[in-house]
């Protein structure tokens, strides 16, 4: 009897433990109806966006329930917005995020700087993309020892083919990036490739593009942006930091709400037009969203984030059957433009601002990117 009782008790423990394990797994299952039914991604109605629903725009609402449920489990995401056919059809905020939140959007700024370069050309402040970088820096031109730097063009800068290295490949370059003193680094940073030959992601190359626009126009980049891009697009700029010489940082940390970021994405989706007004030329939008470098990013992100290329300060990628362009910033800030779906997706997240947080943040950045990539793959053609 003793042996039988012990065996019976042990079996009971195993049975109860197994049942509890099954229940706990089911309770955490993102596809379980009792979890998904509670998901609310209804956009907040307001004057800035016309709202709709996935059903009204021909999409399966269950796909949205799943992605918003998944988003709610991420540790650093702030927002997820989806625009379809010009309507805001899904909106959610998480962790510290809110509809009015202004936070540093990191390298998403580069795509804004690229837009301002295009506008400066459209308005005649710049002659074109074949102008030489050094023509706008007479204050440092005399100290240039590498003659190749005198041949760098705006086009090569836009394509990240100027020859300057990715700052994160070397501790001295990384320290220089955080120094705030950038004009001297045109000479101080070495070229690691001949201009025009090799894609190398360079933050300071984008910053110098912003300085070129400011100098060509004769005032600061922020004021130029306010007059020709932000105000016409009905968006409100938050903060934007400056370097030690007073130039707004063309490579990072502009601040917009997630809704205002979606409007910028919609501008590119609509070939530079907003409410009947051509803010950026369609030719510039097309040139910006072309892929000049394939396999520009070779570090694995996820199984549904593939074929990562680069245009003019915009990335390109593929998820499933969908090709798209994206503004991409540290921590997982994203403005995704999907032409074949007439869709814009915005993700904002903790930018992990600071010189010591890059690799620590990478796992969270990947999670936020993969959230969007997996969702895009699930969408029908």
Average pLDDT, stretch 264-273? 98
Confidence grade of residue 78 (pLDDT, cut at 50, 70, 90): very high
Q: Is residue 109 domain-shared with residue 196, that is, in the same domain?
A: yes
Give the CATH number of the domain where residue 275 resides.
3.40.710.10
Residue 367 resides in a domain: no
Q: Is residue 181 domain-shared with residue 70, that is, in the same domain?
A: no
Least Cα distance to 325 among 339, 337, 333 occurs for 337
Give the residue from 255, 290, 325 where a domain finishes.
290
Q: Is residue 55 domain-shared with residue 119, that is, in the same domain?
A: no
pLDDT at 181: 95
Domain span at 280: 103-290
Q: Is residue 187 domain-shared with residue 163, that is, in the same domain?
A: yes
Residue 26 resides in a domain: no
How many domains does one find in the chain? 2
CA angle 305, 288, 126 (to 5 degrees): 150
Lowest mean pLDDT among 12-26, 49-63, 253-267: 12-26
Q: Is residue 146 domain-shared with residue 285, that is, in the same domain?
A: yes
Task: Flag whether pLDDT at 13 surpasses 70.
Answer: no
pLDDT at 336: 99
pLDDT digits (tens, 9 = 90+) for 269-284: 999 999 999 999 999 9
pLDDT at 292: 98
Give the residue from 78, 99, 120 where a domain finishes.
99
Q: Is residue 119 domain-shared with residue 249, that is, in the same domain?
A: yes
Q: Is residue 68 domain-shared with residue 118, that is, in the same domain?
A: no
Average pLDDT, stretch 87-101? 97
Give the residue from 247, 268, 290 where a domain finishes.
290
Q: Is residue 164 domain-shared with residue 192, that is, in the same domain?
A: yes
Residue that wins the pLDDT comparison between 336 and 46: 336
Q: Is residue 94 domain-shared with residue 226, that is, in the same domain?
A: no
**pTM given for the model:** 0.91
Q: Is residue 168 domain-shared with residue 57, that is, in the same domain?
A: no
């Amino acid at each position: 009897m003793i042996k039988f009782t012990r065996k019976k008790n042990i079996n009971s423990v195993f049975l109860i433990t197994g049942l509890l394990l099954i229940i706990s797994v089911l309770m955490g299952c993102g596809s379980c109806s009792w979890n998904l039914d509670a998901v609310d991604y209804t956009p907040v109605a307001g004057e800035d966006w016309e709202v709709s629903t996935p059903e009204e725009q021909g999409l399966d609402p269950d796909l949205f329930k799943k992605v918003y449920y998944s988003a709610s489990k991420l540790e650093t995401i702030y927002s997820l917005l989806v625009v379809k056919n010009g309507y805001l059809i899904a909106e959610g905020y998480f962790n510290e995020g809110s509809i009015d939140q202004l936070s540093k959007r990191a390298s998403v700024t580069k795509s804004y700087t690229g837009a301002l370069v295009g506008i400066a050309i459209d308005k005649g402040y710049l002659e074109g993309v074949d102008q030489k970088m050094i023509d706008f820096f007479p204050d440092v031109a005399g100290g240039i020892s590498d003659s190749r730097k005198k041949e760098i063009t705006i086009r090569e800068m836009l394509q990240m083919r100027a020859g300057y290295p990715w700052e994160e490949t070397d501790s001295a370059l990384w320290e220089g990036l955080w120094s705030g003193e950038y004009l001297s680094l045109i000479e101080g940073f070495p070229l690691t490739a001949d201009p025009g030959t090799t894609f190398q992601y360079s933050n300071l190359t984008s910053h110098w593009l912003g300085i070129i626009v400011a100098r060509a126009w004769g005032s600061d980049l922020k004021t130029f942006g306010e007059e020709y891009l932000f105000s016409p697009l009905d968006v409100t700029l938050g903060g934007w930091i400056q370097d030690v010489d007073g130039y707004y940082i063309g490579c990072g940390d502009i601040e917009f709400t997630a809704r205002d970021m979606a409007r910028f994405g919609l501008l590119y989706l609509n070939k530079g037009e907003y409410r009947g007004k051509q803010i950026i030329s369609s030719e510039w939008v097309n040139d910006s969203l072309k892929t000049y470098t394939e396999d520009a990013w070779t570090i694995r992100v996820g199984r549904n984030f593939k074929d990562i290329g680069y245009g003019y300060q915009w990335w390109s990628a593929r998820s499933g059957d969908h090709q798209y362009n994206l503004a991409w910033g540290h921590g997982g800030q994203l403005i995704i433009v999907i032409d074949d779906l007439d869709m814009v997706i915005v993700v904002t997240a903790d930018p992990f601002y600071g010189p010591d947080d890059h690799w620590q943040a990478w796992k969270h950045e990947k999670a936020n990117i993969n959230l969007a990539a997996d969702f895009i793959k699930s969408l029908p053609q």
